Amino acid sequence: MALDVNILKASLTAIYTATTNTNNATALSNAICNYLIPITPASTGVESGRAQMIATFNSFAGQPNGHINALTTALPVYAAVVASGMSPEYTGTAPTSVTLPNFTSLYKALTDVEASHADCATIISAAIHTWFSSGTATHNIEQTTVNWGTPVKVSIIQKLKNKIDKAVTVLSADYRKIMQSEYNTIKNSSEVTTKEYAELIRGELNQNELVSAPINVDNTEVLAGIKNTPTKFRSTIGERIIAVAIKDIGMKETLDKNYGGIPSKRKTSIGQRFGFTDKTSYKTMIKEGRIDEMLKQTGTANPKSVGEGYFWCAAAVTSWYLEANADGPRSAGVSRWKEYAQKEKRFTSNPILGSAIIYNFSHIGIVAGVIADKNGIPTRILTIEGNTKGGKGERNGNTVAYKSVSATSKTIVGYFNPASK
């Protein structure tokens, strides 16, 4: 919301007309703090600096024109607290003390003309409002700058967070039936990828929710998830892996049969940073589809006869690593990824961008973003996963999807952190 000078004016008018004691420290301090409550971008400093404001005003109590001197001292300090409270999403810059109104001269001029209390409140509130409105805030991801109190558009990262909050993992009754039918069909298979996929479905059925929640995003939101990731979780090689994987988001199986691969034709600027073009030559037929290509890179030839191909979540991760020139096993099996991570001593509970995220239901994807709390502790992991469920109504495991999972989810076994070859 925009800062409203009339809120401050009304409060000061009430104070000035109610008593001749203009050094009412608590009332004056609260008037200024309450005026700033709706400030945009929002700031925790509005409240955290309130006690200090009151203490400063109290220190001037009893002095001639004490409330005027208190303004000159208290406002720059309070503004600095408000600015710092706009982080981590914004970097706030407080109005400078150089531009602070000369309240002593202003008050003297008002008393010289014997201005009414109401007129004093109007002029002083306008001066305070003009000064606070000159503060600025720069969005730390989008690098857009606004003045304090200027209505701001919902940031891209906030749009992404809103989608994450609304994402659903709980299985509906109808979807449970579909999954149960699929599980009954494949549960006795001896083929490695099929056994692992059956384990995934069984695990999701048992806990009555998907291991991760699908989110419908555009590229700007995926990039915001990367840029919003705290520095300690960033990785150049990891961003290369994401740059490869992001182009596959939305790619679907041909006929929902684990082969082929209809490309999403998704374009992304992050790929251009690493020299990957936006053009794609993936064919939509069984012979040379993207999914078949992924499996081929693991050394597995996908069946080309009528029927279903191999399950391919690990093959997708293998391809993304290989095409980003990152070290990893060439395997279509999730268990092989965990074994390789342990052998290379890179199996960890601390993810970075591009990490292979390994679930305990024989499923795997990559980390595409880390959302952390104010202390830098991860709260949610953003992923790109293959052979998984995408949007509402889609068959389980038919697409590459952008997803979200709680950082403390018990379904996460650990992470394989990427390294260059």
Q: Residue 236 has what pLDDT? A: 92
The region that residue 168 occupies, defined by phi over 0 for left and psi between -120 and 50 for alpha, beta otherwise, is beta
Share of the chain above pLDDT 70, in %: 87
pLDDT digits (tens, 9 = 90+) for 149-165: 877 677 788 888 888 88
200 to each of 137, 176, 212, how far by Cα in Å?
Answer: 46, 13, 12
The label of the residue with tokens 């000064």 reads 131
Q: Residue 256 has what pLDDT? A: 65
Six-digit token string for 326: 């990152």
Q: Residue 136 has what pLDDT? A: 93
3-state SS assignment for residue 110:
helix
Which H helix or E strand runs over 415? strand 412-416
Q: Residue 224 has what pLDDT? A: 86
Q: Residue 15 has what pLDDT? A: 85
Per-residue model confidence as pLDDT tens for the chain (421 residues):
578 999 999 998 888 877 555 447 788 889 999 999 989 888 999 999 999 999 998 888 778 777 788 898 999 999 999 999 998 878 999 999 889 998 888 888 988 888 888 898 899 999 999 999 999 999 876 778 889 987 767 778 888 888 888 887 888 888 788 888 888 888 888 887 888 888 888 888 888 888 888 888 888 888 889 988 999 999 999 999 999 999 899 888 776 666 676 666 555 555 554 444 544 433 333 346 788 888 888 888 776 544 567 788 999 999 999 999 999 999 988 999 999 999 999 999 999 999 999 998 889 999 999 999 888 899 999 999 998 876 554 445 778 999 999 999 988 999 999 988 7
Helix ranges restricted to H, 101-218: 103-112, 117-132, 156-166, 173-186, 192-207
Q: Residue 75 has what pLDDT? A: 94
- Can you name the residues that pair with 187 across neighbouring β-strands? none
CA dist., res. 130 & res. 110, Å (int): 18
Do the beta carbons of residue 137 and residue 145 sit within 8 Å? yes
Residues 6+ apart with CB under 8 A from 196: 311, 314, 333, 334, 335, 362, 363
Six-digit token string for 341: 């991570």
SS (H, E, C) 222-281: HHHHHHCCCHHHCCHHHHHHHHHHHHHCCCECHHHCCCCCECCCCCCHHHHHCCCCCCCC
3-state SS assignment for residue 120:
helix
Q: Residue 175 has what pLDDT? A: 79
